[in-house]
Homo-oligomer: A and B are copies of this chain.
């Protein structure tokens, strides 16, 4: 399985990354079905590993999802995470900040939503919007952008040093693929409610967004908190790549069944 990890400090050019890539799988129905079967197995494993994470209550996993509109953030959560016990999995969708939130630094509201020990936290959009949308629209200076990159790195270092494993996925679709997906929303009356006029305005800024993503990922991919550029034109391959990385991350924690409470002699204990 290809890794797609962004090396810390690398210079990125997103156009060199194939949005249509399907790794070792061919773009045939047969290979698609094979990939889906593997994904299902991984999802089963994910369910077991999450139970262990929850039982241990000593580590956490934070999954950050970023990408252009229609890139599949919601679809990833639905397809990869729906088998997980919701008691141990919290999804946070970051919307336009409220007046109270704007009264604080940009990481204030994010920190509050970091996953507790034992939990998988999923950020559907995240603090990275504060160096993307704000930047593309010229709402913050280059100096502030640079400052925020450092603040983000230090914030994530705090989480990571406190036991949270962080995975950051950029769902990489092509501009043509977005066109198709938006057209599908428009032509299907059942899906029109998802259509947002603003999406077309953002689409016009595609190039600027790609540049913002490139700089941002190059600056904030670290050993402890890496970015992955996930080829996302094919939903089945996107799901496979993400399921694989999530299962890997949980397996690497090497969590065992937690020990029994001490001070109790279980062999002589009687329930009246």
Contact = CB atoms under 8 A, between A and B. Distances in A.
- In the complex this chain forms, how many copies of it are found? 2
Given A203-B271, A261-B195, A87 B83 contact: no
A93 B85 CA distance: 13
A27 interface: no
Contacts of A124: 87
A99 interface: no
Contacts of A74: 87
A260 interface: yes
Interface in A156-201: 179, 182-183, 186, 189-190, 192-197, 200
A198 to B, nearest CB: 10
Interface residues of A, number: 44
A91 B82 contact: no
Interface string A108-152: 000000000000001010000000000000000000000000000
B86 A264 contact: no
Nearest to A87: B91
A26 interface: no
Contacts of A263: 197
A189 B269 CA distance: 13
Contacts of A85: 77-78, 81-82
A262 to B, nearest CB: 10
Interface in A45-103: 47, 55, 74, 77-78, 81-87, 89-91, 93
A209 to B, nearest CB: 15
Contact of A87 (B77, B203, B271): B77
A68 B119 CA distance: 24
Interface of A: 47, 55, 74, 77-78, 81-87, 89-91, 93, 122, 124, 179, 182-183, 186, 189-190, 192-197, 200, 203-204, 257-261, 263-264, 266, 269, 271-272
Given A77-B87, A82-B83, A193-B258, 20 more contacts: A77-B86, A78-B85, A82-B84, A86-B86, A86-B89, A86-B90, A86-B122, A182-B271, A186-B266, A186-B269, A189-B260, A190-B257, A192-B260, A193-B259, A195-B260, A195-B266, A196-B261, A197-B261, A200-B271, A204-B272
16 contacts: A74-B87, A77-B85, A77-B87, A82-B83, A82-B85, A86-B122, A87-B93, A182-B271, A192-B261, A193-B258, A193-B260, A193-B261, A195-B264, A197-B263, A200-B271, A203-B271
